[in-house]
Amino acid sequence: MANLNLESLLELFGSAYRGFERKGYFREYLSDHIQHESIDVYIYRHVHKLNLWPIDMAYENQRKKYSEEDLFDIIEFLYDNVSKELGRYGGYHRELGRKEFRSEINDLLRYYPDGYEISEEGEILRLPSTGLEYLLETAVPEIDPENVTTKIEAAIRKFRSFRSSLDDRRDAIHSLAAVFEFIRKKLKHVLSTKDENDLFNIANNFAIRHHNDEQKTNYDKKIWLDWMFYFYLATMHASLELIKKKEETDSVS
């Protein structure tokens, strides 16, 4: 399947939306707002935008078609307000509705340039490069939840967010470098001095951690920031695994 442009994505999204709407997947959370004409207020409270309703205009009205950001915002909004109706007297099941909505929408988003997905938490994120998915699917070894794990998870979310600018991605790499700085004393016991120095030189030489006139700033940021982020993330996984293994060995001896 070829990559989708925005116009094609809007048309396919519209078809998917109509299918879920006909089956009542938005009845539990949106029907009262639509009935009482408060849907615009409800959407504004969620995404802080006006003129996103009715959703049909996203793909039918040439003058009012959604921008990419509008589309991603409304997808996140719908994910927050979807639930599956379990028969006439069975009530609704939010998680089942979310699962089905996420699966169908992700089958479209992954073919949009750069590739995206809506996460289980309802955020639209950029897909990793092929072969690097395991770095996002595998939890980092637990060393220090507050100062290590949560910082890494926040950096990943910031780097992958569809809203992230190149500066945001650079900041995410800076956050990973800060985690390496936090565990630097422990790194000395599991990495050679050269490997440790190389790790910090990458951030220093590419204007990630500090700023001076000797740094490289004329590189293709989109390509190199991706490379630096996933290099740091892979190294983080390996380093934390080595640290954890050493601490477990030391505790036994």
Q: Distance between CA 11 and CA 3 in Å, rounded?
A: 14
Provide the b/e sequence for 47-74 (b: ≥16 CB within 10 Å).
beeeebbebebbbeeeeeebeeebbbbb
Classify residue 104 as exposed, middle or buried by CB count within 10 Å of its CB (0-12, 13-18, 19+).
Answer: middle
Supply 122's token pair. 């309802």
181 C-beta neighbours (distance < 10 Å), count: 13
Q: Is the pLDDT of residue 195 over 60?
A: no
The pLDDT, as a whole number, for residue 241 is 87
Q: Distance between CA 132 and CA 136 in Å, rounded?
A: 8
Phi, psi at 118, each rounded to 5° = -100, 125
> Hey, is 38 helix, strand or coil?
coil
| Whole-number Cα distances in Å, 44 to 31, 53, 55, 65, 176 | 16, 10, 14, 18, 34
Q: Is the pLDDT of residue 245 over 50?
A: yes
Q: Is the pLDDT of residue 13 over 70?
A: yes
List of residues 6+ apart from 120 with CB closer than 8 A = 98, 102
More confident residue, 65 or 7: 7
Q: Distance between CA 142 and CA 159 in Å, rounded?
A: 21
Q: Is the pLDDT of residue 208 over 70?
A: no
pTM of the prediction?
A: 0.79
Classify residue 26 as exposed, middle or buried by CB count within 10 Å of its CB (0-12, 13-18, 19+).
Answer: buried
| DSSP calls for 155-187 | HHHHHHBTT--HHHHHHHHHHHHHHHHHTHHHH
The pLDDT, as a whole number, for residue 197 is 57
Q: Distance between CA 180 and CA 160 in Å, rounded?
A: 20
| DSSP calls for 79-121 | HHT--EE-STTS-EEHHHHHHHHHHHHHHHHTTSTT-EEE-TT
| Whole-number Cα distances in Å, 61 to 49, 58, 70 | 18, 7, 14
The pLDDT, as a whole number, for residue 143 is 81
151-171: average pLDDT: 92
Q: Distance between CA 243 and CA 179 in Å, rounded?
A: 14
Helix or strand holding residue 126 (H, E)? strand 124-126
pLDDT band of residue 235 (cuts 50, 70, 90) is confident
